[in-house]
Amino acid sequence: MKDNQDRLVRAITKDRQIRILTARTTDLVEEARKLHQTSPLATAALGRTLTGALLVASLLKSGHEVSLSIDGNGPLGKIVAEANYKGEVRGYLKNPGANLPLKDGKLDVASGVGQGELTVRKMLADGKPYEGSTKLISGEIGEDLTYYFTVSEQIPSSVGLGVLVDKDSSVKAAGGFLLQVMPDAADEDIDLLEENIANIGSLSRHISKGKSPEEILDLVMGDIYYRILEKTDVKYHCRCSEDRISSIVRSLSREEIDSVLEELGEVEIQCHFCNQSYSFDENEINDIMNEES
């Protein structure tokens, strides 16, 4: 794998008491920016959420999926990201054009998100869902995920997320890390981690200067011995298809469908995650409605 390629790295300490994931997500966040035509503020917020969802999904087993929902009262509105263990992620936000003045020379993501709630939904391979929610403590998203893990799942964690937007509004760098400490971790290791994280500075700046996920891993872990378990390519990937959208059509009442057909002559449904539109005329609608659910 090339250093300038989006990927996620999973690692664990020798005593298995500390696990850490690091990711470079520059290209996939840029793909999201292009799809949703986001403002710089929206790019930063959505990019952090996409990266966070990838990191959380990578804690689970193969076949499991995660959805992050950030429901704040700020101008950005609701932000949603879905990811799976394979490194595929997609997302959207309610108000992609929202913007605010810079705060201390930086994009004011916290004010853009506002106060509200973070919800983490995990869909396990057997179909059983798990859901946990916590309040947004800052709106910075990384801090909110850290709080979620500590309070809702009772696992001491640290989540760092960063997106650097260039002058032309494109994504210059994006990435993150997620670190979790198990109950029997050595106190000296915990102290060292806290010191390393406090001194790491801007994560997105490190990535913009060419640091790889492996090098970010070194910055966080310092002198603590660890081994890399796996490296995974990550990408923005929407799973929508005509078959999936057809199932949405089947969930509508005949009265709703007939009303739309009478007014527009067709039913059009747009995917929130990639903005692709699917159109169905009356004959296609009848075929769909006659299929077995």
**Predicted confidence pLDDT, tens digits, the chain (293 residues):** 556 799 999 999 999 999 999 999 999 999 999 999 999 999 999 999 999 999 999 998 777 899 999 999 999 999 999 999 999 999 999 999 999 999 999 999 999 999 999 999 998 767 778 899 999 999 999 999 999 999 999 999 999 999 999 999 999 999 999 999 999 999 999 999 999 999 998 899 999 999 999 999 999 999 999 999 999 999 999 988 888 888 888 888 888 888 888 888 888 888 999 999 898 888 888 888 887 54
pTM for the full predicted model: 0.92
Say what the pLDDT of residue 256 is: 84
First to last CA, the chain: 43
Q: What are phi and psi of 292, to 5 degrees?
A: -70, 140
User: Which ranges constitute the DSSP H helices of 138-241?
Assistant: 142-151, 187-199, 203-208, 213-221
Helix (H, G, I), strand (E, B) or coil at 114: coil
Residue spans per domain, the chain: 7-236, 242-290
Tokens standing for 146? 């850290």
Task: Match 């057809």 to its residue by tokens.
Answer: 246
Say what the pLDDT of residue 292 is: 53
Specify the fold of 242-290.
CBS domain Like (3.90.1280)
Say what the pLDDT of residue 269 is: 87
Give the model confidence (pLDDT) of 2-50 as tens digits.
Answer: 567 999 999 999 999 999 999 999 999 999 999 999 999 999 999 999 9
Task: Give the number of other Cβ atoms within 10 Å of residue 117's Cβ.
Answer: 13
Q: What are phi and psi of 272, to 5 degrees?
A: -65, -30
Report the C-alpha gap between 1 and 38 in whole angstroms.
Answer: 29
Task: Match 């929508």 to its residue by tokens.
Answer: 240
Which letter does DSSP use for residue 35 in this model?
Answer: H
Say what the pLDDT of residue 2 is: 58
Q: Find out if CATH 3.55.30.10 is the number for domain 7-236.
A: yes
Rounded to 5 degrees, what angle do the CA atoms 32, 94, 238 make?
35
Residue of 35, 93, 12, 9 whose CA lies nearest to 238: 35
Sort 100 into a burial class: Cβ within 10 Å, 0-12 / 13-18 / 19+: middle
